[in-house]
Amino acid sequence: MPYCPIVATLGYVLSSDGRHALMIHRNARPDDHHFGKYNGLGGKMDDGEDVAACMRREIHEEAGIDCRAMTLRGTVSWPGFGARGEDWLGFIFLITAFEGEPLTSNAEGALEWVPIDALGELNLWEGDRHFLPMVFDGDPRPFHGVMPYREGKPLSWSFSR
């Protein structure tokens, strides 16, 4: 069967001191597939849009800020991740400079600055714990991972750099 994923971006905005990440607590809509979880910012790519433009648009829409510097940290393929078992392919960015003052909330939930060393204490997607350390580490090589999901749970994780 051909792999036809939903293509999306996921971005982690760093504070000016580099010690906090802007996270969304998806607590606004009980029907949300991500309800109750913390996540980076992002979403589906639009027709005619490249991944960098998608990331900039999503950060602006969700946080009200404009990206001034960002780095592609990696990609993750999530077969079966969607609410109805859809496959997803995510481009993971680290936003190191931005302009504007971030919103405190949006239609999906509250935006919170969280210390990077405390991200593991949040209610995250279980699989995010595998790749999040690589988003923030000092290794300049991008990572590329595969994390199949079934019924909201990761089945495995493999990656290369």
Instruction: Domains for the chain: give ranges and CATH numbers.
Output: 6-160 (3.90.79.10)
pTM value? 0.94
pLDDT more than 70, % of the chain: 99
pLDDT at 108 over 90: yes
Q: How far apart are CA 155 and CA 161, in angstroms?
A: 21
CB 92 within 8 A of CB 10: yes
Q: What is the 3-state secondary structure (H, E, C) of 116-150?
A: HHHHHHCCCCCCHHHHHHHHHCCCCCCEEEECCEE
pLDDT (mean) for 41-51? 97
Average pLDDT, the chain: 95
Q: How far apart are CA 91 and CA 56, in angstroms?
A: 12
- Banded model confidence at residue 2, pLDDT cuts 50, 70, 90: confident
pLDDT at 30 over 80: yes
pLDDT at 13 over 80: yes
Residues 6+ apart with CB under 8 A from 60: 66, 67
pLDDT at 19 over 90: yes
pLDDT at 1 over 80: no
- Banded model confidence at residue 32, pLDDT cuts 50, 70, 90: confident
- Banded model confidence at residue 59, pLDDT cuts 50, 70, 90: very high
Among 25-34, 59-68, 106-115, which is the least confidently predicted range? 25-34
pLDDT (mean) for 73-77? 98
CB 27 within 8 A of CB 120: no
- Banded model confidence at residue 31, pLDDT cuts 50, 70, 90: confident
pLDDT (mean) for 18-31? 93
Q: What is the pLDDT of residue 152?
A: 84
